[in-house]
């Protein structure tokens, strides 16, 4: 170790500070490796707590506001936002990685409960990815030839929408207003519905 010596100027009645030890960097310095050797449990606990934080954040459900923002950002429009939010609450409790195995052996996957048999055109990777799920459902919702496509899909899943308590409207409307303030156009929010 190299010692750094302070200046020797001192005022009358004050003491000169003691030298401060500074670790010298070079080939022989051990740094982090020496700390890990002395405290292996600390590294293990640090990694364990990091893994725990990642898992908790991975499985945490979306808030209604996060849902509404992602709905708009992935091509959804305001007229269907409330319906999609209510459906996602019933299907997965707003969890992107939700998995529900049904009695017939099929699996409702992801945020919107895409069934492995009825919605087999949607891959597992897409069903469990929030952004891809939003794009898949918003493409149903934005079908210009048949505006009832989204309602028919939701009714065909057998998911009980009556189990959802509360009104989904305020988060969608509040997020839409915030997006307009951010510079989004009404066309991006409302869509081109006649």
| Digitized pLDDT (tens) for each residue of the chain, 194 residues in all | 455 544 555 555 555 555 555 555 555 555 555 555 666 665 566 666 655 544 544 567 889 999 999 999 998 888 888 888 888 888 888 999 999 888 899 899 999 988 888 888 889 999 999 999 999 888 877 766 655 667 777 777 777 666 555 555 678 889 988 998 999 888 888 876 54
**CATH number attached to the domain at 64-190:** 1.10.530
Report the predicted TM-score, pTM, of the whole model to 2 decimal places.
0.64
By the 8 A CB rule, do 37 and 53 touch?
Answer: no
CA angle 172, 174, 194 (to 5 degrees): 55
Q: How would you classify the pairing of strands 99-101 and 20-22?
A: unpaired
Residue with tokens 């990685």: 97
Written as six digits, the tokens of 69 are 């923002």
Alpha-carbon torsion (139, 143, 147, 153), positive or negative: negative
Strand partners of residue 20: 4
* Residue ranges of domains in the chain: 2-59, 64-190
By the 8 A CB rule, do 168 and 86 touch?
Answer: yes
Strand partners of residue 107: 101
Q: How far is CA 185 from the centre of its chain?
A: 25
């Amino acid at each position: 170790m190299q010692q750094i010596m302070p200046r020797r100027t001192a005022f009358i009645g004050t003491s000169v500070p003691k030298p401060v030890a500074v670790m010298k960097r070079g080939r022989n310095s051990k740094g982090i490796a020496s700390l890990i050797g002395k405290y292996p449990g600390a590294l293990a606990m640090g990694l364990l707590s990091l893994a725990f934080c990642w898992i908790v954040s991975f499985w945490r459900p979306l808030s209604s506001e996060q849902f509404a923002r992602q709905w708009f950002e992935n091509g959804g429009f305001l007229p269907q936002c409330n319906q999609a939010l209510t459906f996602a609450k019933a299907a997965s409790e707003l969890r992107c990685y939700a998995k529900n195995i049904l009695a017939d052996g099929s699996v409702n996957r992801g945020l919107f409960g895409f069934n492995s048999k009825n919605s087999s055109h949607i891959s597992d990777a897409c069903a469990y990815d929030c952004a891809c799920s939003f794009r898949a459902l918003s493409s149903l919702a934005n079908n210009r030839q048949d505006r009832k496509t989204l309602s028919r899909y939701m009714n065909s899943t057998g998911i009980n929408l009556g189990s959802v308590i509360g009104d989904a409207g305020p988060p969608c409307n509040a997020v839409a207003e915030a997006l307009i303030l951010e510079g989004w156009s009404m066309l991006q929010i409302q869509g081109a519905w006649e």
